[in-house]
Amino acid sequence: MPMDLEFVPPANLPAAPDLALAPTQALTGLPPEVPGVPAAEVPAVTPASGDDASADIPSFEGLVGRHPSILGVVEIIRRVAATDATVLISGESGTGKEVVAEAIHRLSARRQQRFVPVHCGAIPEDLLESEMFGHEKGAFTGAVSSRVGRFRIADGGSIFLDEIGEMSPKLQVKLLRVLEDGRFEPVGSVGTQQVDVRVIAASNRKLEEAVSAKLFREDLYYRLRVVPIEMPPLRRRREDIPLLVRHLIQQFHVQKKLPSCQVSDDALAVLTQYTWPGNVRELKNVLEQALVLGNGNGVIRPEDLPAHLTTTPSLDPLPSPVAPWEFGPQGIDFYRAMEMIEDRIIVQALRLSSGNKKEAARLLRVNRTTLLEKLKRKRQQDGLLGRLLNEGGGRFERMGLGGDAATAWT
C-alpha cells in the first residue's frame, strides 16, 4: 500500500530553507518563549495541514523530525538565540548547519540586521582575508578600488563562517582578535575598524583533531566553541526519513510547481535503508530527480530512484576489519572514512585480545588510557564501534568475543 503524500499547502507557508531537517510538537521541557524576544515573534513547532493528525509534519525554523538528536538541537537553538554567545556547529556535509545558523539569527535580537554567510572552503586562501575584512585600493594586484568586507557588512547582525577548518593559520590569528574585541584592519589599511557582530561558525571536520595536529589554533577553537551544536547524520535518525520525504515533496510542489505524489512502500524502504553519505542535501536531490524524471503516474517507485541507492552495500552489517573503498557518485566523506578505518582497527585489536583492553592497547601501541578515551568518545557516535559498544553481547558473540568479553570492555 503506498504511503499517501497528498497535502494541502498552508496559505502562509514561508519559503523553506535550502535544507530541511528536524523537530516536533512534543518539545516537553523547552521554554515557551525565547527570553528577550516577544513570545508572538518566536515561531512555534508547527505541523503542516493534513486530514490525518498522525500525518502532520513537525517543523521548527526549517528543521523537520522527531528524533531526540534533532529535538536536542532545537532546545539549544531556543536557548542560545537570546544571547550573543559564539556558536560552533559541527556535522557532516548536508546535515543542515547553515539552516541552524539562520534559525539562531532569526530568533535573536539581531534579526532585523543582516545574516552574512562566508563559505571559507569555497574562497581561495589568498582572497579570503579580503573577502572577510575588506581591502584598500592598491592593497594588492587587481585591487583597483576599496572594498568593504563581510564583517563590516554584518555589523549589528550575524556572520556565519562555514567550513572554518579550512582557514589558514594567519587568518585564524586575525579572526581571534575580532572575537576578542571586535577590531580588525582591512588589507592594506593602517586604520583599525570595530564591529559588533555575532559569530556562528561551522565545520564538517573534527576541529579537536585539527587542534591536536597543530592545524587549528587551540585558543581560537575554544573561543568559537562557547556553545557547541552537533548535527546528527541522516543515517542516525532514519525514522525521520518518511517525515523529510513528505516535507520535501511539499516544498517542491510549492516552490517549483512539481506535482504532489505518493511514495510506494518499497521506495520508502529503499530511502530508509540507504546510508545517505550526503545526508539531507542528497535526499533532497534524489527526490527532486525522481519527481522530474519519474514515470509521471503520481507514485514514486524503486525504479524511479537512482540506481546507487539500491546497489550501494549497507554499512550496518559487521564488515571485515579491512575493506576496499569505492568512490560512489557522491564521492567519499574522507573524515568519516578515516573514522571507520579506525573503528575497524580497534575492533580487530579487541577481537585478537578477547576484549582485554590492556592487551588491545598493546597491540595498537597506544596507552591504555588513550584507548579508554577513544572507546568513551565512540560510544557517543553511530559508527561500527559505537554500535557494538551500545548493542552489547549479541554483536560481540558474532565477532567471536562472547558475552563475558563484551562485558569486560564495555
The three-class DSSP label of residue 9 is: coil
Residue pair 95/283 in contact by the 8 Å Cβ criterion = no
d(CA 333, CA 277): 7
Q: What is the pLDDT of residue 36?
A: 44
Q: Where are the alpha helices (DSSP H) in 182-228?
A: 207-212, 218-224
- Flag whether pLDDT at 204 surpasses 70: yes
- Flag whether pLDDT at 34 surpasses 90: no
- Residue with the larger pLDDT of the pair 337 and 54: 337
Q: What is the mean pLDDT of residues 247-268?
A: 90
Q: Of 54-58, 264-268, 322-326, which range is least confident?
A: 322-326
The DSSP output letter for 187 is: B
d(CA 387, CA 374): 14
β-partners of residue 328 are 331
Residue pair 116/51 in contact by the 8 Å Cβ criterion = no
β-partners of residue 63 are 60
- Residue with the larger pLDDT of the pair 171 and 10: 171
Tens-place pLDDT, residues 22-33: 333 333 233 334
Task: Band the pLDDT of 193: cuts 50, 70, 90.
Answer: very high
Cell of 302: 524503486
Angle between helices 125-133 and 169-181 (to 10 degrees): 20
Q: What is the pLDDT of residue 350?
A: 83
Q: What is the pLDDT of residue 69?
A: 93
Residue pair 78/34 in contact by the 8 Å Cβ criterion = yes
Listed by start position, the domains of the chain span 86-137+145-225, 334-409
Left if phi > 0, otherwise alpha if psi is -120 to 50, otherwise beta: which for 65? left
Tens-place pLDDT, residues 102-159: 999 999 999 999 999 999 988 988 889 999 999 898 888 888 888 999 999 999 999 9
Task: Band the pLDDT of 318: cuts 50, 70, 90.
Answer: very low
d(CA 282, CA 19): 10
Q: What is the pLDDT of residue 307?
A: 87
Q: Which of 56-65, 203-212, 224-233 has the highest mean pLDDT?
A: 224-233
- Residue with the larger pLDDT of the pair 312 and 303: 303
Q: Calculate the average pLDDT of the chain.
A: 78
Nearest 5°: the CA angle 335, 234, 93 is 40
For 17, 23, 117, 222, the CA distances from 230, given in Å and listed in that order, are 19, 15, 19, 15
Q: What is the pLDDT of residue 286?
A: 94
Looking at the domain covering 86-137+145-225, what would its CATH class be? alpha beta
